[in-house]
């Protein structure tokens, strides 16, 4: 439920109604701007009657949010959320943010070579999995904490931020010193315990991938879990969904970006690598992602994809990544965001 105060409502009137609601057990989310006081009522608001609340002095309008997600919804917060990462990166603002790196961290040397190249080509965030959710238990499972240390050490040398996937809440304290963004993988999008624990235990941004067969509403409900637990720094990531089509690894739902922009204020990026599963499609899909208005992309890159420990078929060689970045920059004259 959203409560909008009158233009000349006083701070005391605001306090009066919010304290009344807090005493009833609701949580208040203040989203006031410079000229208008507005707040959301968080909790099971079925018992509240909007007309009763409109009787409070200073209240202009009380509206129910019709979507099951509230904190994540555009009706709750009209302006786009801009998420700051470290000192120099903003996701959801006027920058088209490029995250790049290997599927898995393989070694210090390999990570160094990739980071150096992607930085020179214009990426600002280094990706890399240290804990890998593999379909087979016999496939490479990741380097673990050593992988996180490598990511941090290498990223710092090139002033890159780090994003890496966390699979279990047991690992939050381990991850905290090494990552700038926590990634929740597609397979964990509905791991509600992980969502709640991360929401409550870190203030760092969380990149929430869309589940393999999740609807947009389910995806936004997962964002809501994180936000309701105390962290509103959520970045959504469309990474392809499973359809009947087998030629590509998944089907990139490019219109999901537009849907999310209508339904939510949260930033949304695209992962063309896991969507297509084929390196030959990545440049064009990245261009499409930029053109459709996403806030960035996350792309897998490897100097020697044939020998990559995971996802080589969809990884761009360093020079192909550089070519893709040039193609994106060529588009920037006609788009709002800059690469």
Residues near Mn ion (CB under 5 A): 103, 311
Please say which residue, 232 or 311, places its beta carbon nearer to Mn ion.
Answer: 311
Please say which residue, 228 or 269, places its beta carbon nearer to Mn ion.
Answer: 269
Counting contacts by CB under 6 A, is residue 21 touching ligand PEP?
no
Please say which residue, 76 or 131, places its beta carbon nearer to ligand PEP.
Answer: 131
DSSP per residue, 88-103: TEEESSSB-EEEEE-S
Q: Report the C-alpha gap between 230 and 46 in whole angstroms.
A: 22
Q: Report the C-alpha gap between 32 and 43 in whole angstroms.
A: 19
To ligand PEP, the closest distance from the beta carbon of 287 in angstroms equals 20
Task: Report the partner that residue 239 touches, choosing among ligand PEP, Mn ion, none (CB closer than 5 to 8 A by kind).
Answer: ligand PEP
Which residues have a Cβ under 8 Å from the Cβ of 272 and sit 6 or more positions away? Answer: 252, 281, 282, 285, 286, 289, 297, 299
To ligand PEP, the closest distance from the beta carbon of 22 in angstroms equals 38
207 to 226: interface string for ligand PEP, x by CB under 6 A: --x-----------------
Task: DSSP letter for 85, please.
Answer: E
Which residues partner with 181 through β-bridges? 163
Q: Report the C-alpha gap between 314 and 152 in whole angstroms.
A: 24
Task: Report the partner that residue 186 touches, choosing among ligand PEP, Mn ion, none (CB closer than 5 to 8 A by kind).
Answer: ligand PEP
To ligand PEP, the closest distance from the beta carbon of 165 in angstroms equals 6
Q: Where are the beta strands (DSSP E) in the chain?
A: 2-5, 27-30, 38-42, 59-63, 83-85, 89-91, 97-101, 125-127, 161-165, 181-184, 206-209, 234-238, 268-270, 296-300
How many Cα atoms within 13 Å fall on the side-chain side of residue 228? Answer: 19
> Which strands make up the sheet holding 59-63, listed edge to edge?
27-30, 38-42, 2-5, 59-63
Counting contacts by CB under 6 A, is residue 100 touching ligand PEP?
no
**Could you tell me if 269 and 210 are in contact, meaning their C-beta atoms sit under 8 angstroms apart?**
no
Counting contacts by CB under 6 A, is residue 199 touching ligand PEP?
no
**Could you tell me if 103 and 67 are in contact, meaning their C-beta atoms sit under 8 angstroms apart?**
no
**Could you tell me if 299 and 273 are in contact, meaning their C-beta atoms sit under 8 angstroms apart?**
yes
Please say which residue, 103 or 339, places its beta carbon nearer to Mn ion.
Answer: 103
Site residues for ligand PEP, window 277-336 (CB under 6 A)? none
Counting contacts by CB under 6 A, is residue 274 touching ligand PEP?
yes
Counting contacts by CB under 6 A, is residue 179 touching ligand PEP?
no
Counting contacts by CB under 6 A, is residue 185 touching ligand PEP?
yes
Please say which residue, 40 or 185, places its beta carbon nearer to ligand PEP.
Answer: 185
Counting contacts by CB under 6 A, is residue 239 touching ligand PEP?
yes
To ligand PEP, the closest distance from the beta carbon of 140 in angstroms equals 12
* Residue 111 vs residues 45, 46, 146: alpha-carbon distances, Å: 49, 52, 12
Stretch that binds ligand PEP, among 105-113, 182-190, 222-230, 321-329 (CB under 6 A): 182-190
**Could you tell me if 213 and 243 are in contact, meaning their C-beta atoms sit under 8 angstroms apart?**
no
CB atoms within 10 A of CB 211: 21
Please say which residue, 81 or 289, places its beta carbon nearer to Mn ion.
Answer: 289
Please say which residue, 129 or 147, places its beta carbon nearer to ligand PEP.
Answer: 129
Q: Which residue has the CB atom at the shortest distance from ligand PEP?
A: 185
Question: Of these, 2, 89, 98, 103, which contacts ligand PEP (CB under 6 A)?
Answer: 103
Please say which residue, 53 or 166, places its beta carbon nearer to ligand PEP.
Answer: 166
Question: Of these, 40, 58, 129, 296, which contacts ligand PEP (CB under 6 A)?
Answer: 129
**Which residues of the chain form contacts with ligand PEP (CB under 6 A)?**
103, 129, 133, 185-187, 209, 239, 271, 274
């Amino acid at each position: 439920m959203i409560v909008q105060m009158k233009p000349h409502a006083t701070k005391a009137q605001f306090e009066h109604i919010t304290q009344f609601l807090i005493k009833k057990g609701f949580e208040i989310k203040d989203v006031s701007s410079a000229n208008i006081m507005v707040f959301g009522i968080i909790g099971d608001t079925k018992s509240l009657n909007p007309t009763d609340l409109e009787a409070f002095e200073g209240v202009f309008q009380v509206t129910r949010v019709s979507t099951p997600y509230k904190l994540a919804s555009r009706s709750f917060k009209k302006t786009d959320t801009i998420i700051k990462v470290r000192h120099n990166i903003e996701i959801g603002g006027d920058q088209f943010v490029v995250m790049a790196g290997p599927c898995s961290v393989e070694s210090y040397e390999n990570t160094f070579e990739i980071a150096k190249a992607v930085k020179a080509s214009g990426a600002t965030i280094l990706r890399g999995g240290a804990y890998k959710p593999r379909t087979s238990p016999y496939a490479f499972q990741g380097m673990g904490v050593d992988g996180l240390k490598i990511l941090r050490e290498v990223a710092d040398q090139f002033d890159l931020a780090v994003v890496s996937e966390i699979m279990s809440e047991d690992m939050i304290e381990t991850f905290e010193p090494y990552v700038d963004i926590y990634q929740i993988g597609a397979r964990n999008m509905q791991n509600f315990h992980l969502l709640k624990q991360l929401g409550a235990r870190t203030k760092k941004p969380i990149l929430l991938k869309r589940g393999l067969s999740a609807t947009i509403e389910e995806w936004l409900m997962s964002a809501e879990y994180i936000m309701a637990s105390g962290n509103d720094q959520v970045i959504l990531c469309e990474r392809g969904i499973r359809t009947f089509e087998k030629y590509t690894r998944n089907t990139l739902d490019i219109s999901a970006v537009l849907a999310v922009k209508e339904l939510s204020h949260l930033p949304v990026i695209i992962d063309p690598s896991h969507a297509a599963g084929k390196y030959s499609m990545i440049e064009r899909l990245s261009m499409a992602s930029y053109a459709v208005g996403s806030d960035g992309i996350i792309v897998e890159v490897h100097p020697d994809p044939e020998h990559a420990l995971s996802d080589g078929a969809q990884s761009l060689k360093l020079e192909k990544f550089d070519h893709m970045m040039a193609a994106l920059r060529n588009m920037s004259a006609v788009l709002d965001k800059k690469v």
